[in-house]
Amino acid sequence: MEAQDHPLEIFNKCGLELPFQNSEAAFLLDQISEQHNVAFSFVEVVFVDESGIVQINKEYLKRDYVTDIISFRYDDNATNLEIEGTLYCCAPRIKEQASEYNQPLKVEFLRIIIHGLLHLSGYEDSTIEEKKEMTHLEDHFLNLI
């Protein structure tokens, strides 16, 4: 598959250098597709700064704070075979989290992308059990890189 034919596109609107290769994020999307029987037809990952994520959070979720990621799914396909969505990621917040959790920048950035892709695939993290499952899956996919 040629790079431009891949369903994942990454946009860096924050000015910070991203510590991973686009091909690594594409690989993770492919692995999630294969291992969870889902298919992504289009996913954009947009890296923004703190003001950008707060603006999105206020406008769409009526929340007024910085967060690491906000996921939007656009398709109505209940079979998870044509997933379309956008992951808005706050690069400065992810960088802070890497330091807080004593993780390499690359690992934390890829973890957030995995987290968003899992949300688009139907996973939630509202309860302690769901959070444990998400963390387990994030670790699993990170170990593939």
Query: Would you kindly state where each structural domain of the chain is located, as residue ranges?
Result: 3-142
Mean pLDDT (whole number) for 17-29: 97
Mean pLDDT (whole number) for 47-61: 97
Q: Give whole-number Cα distances, 6 to 10, 66, 134, in Å.
A: 11, 30, 25
pLDDT band at 4 (very low <50, low <70, confident <90, very high): low
Evaluate if residue 112 carries a pLDDT over 70.
yes
Q: Which CATH architecture has domain 3-142?
A: 3-Layer(aba) Sandwich (3.40)
User: In this predicted structure, what is the pLDDT of residue 3?
Assistant: 45
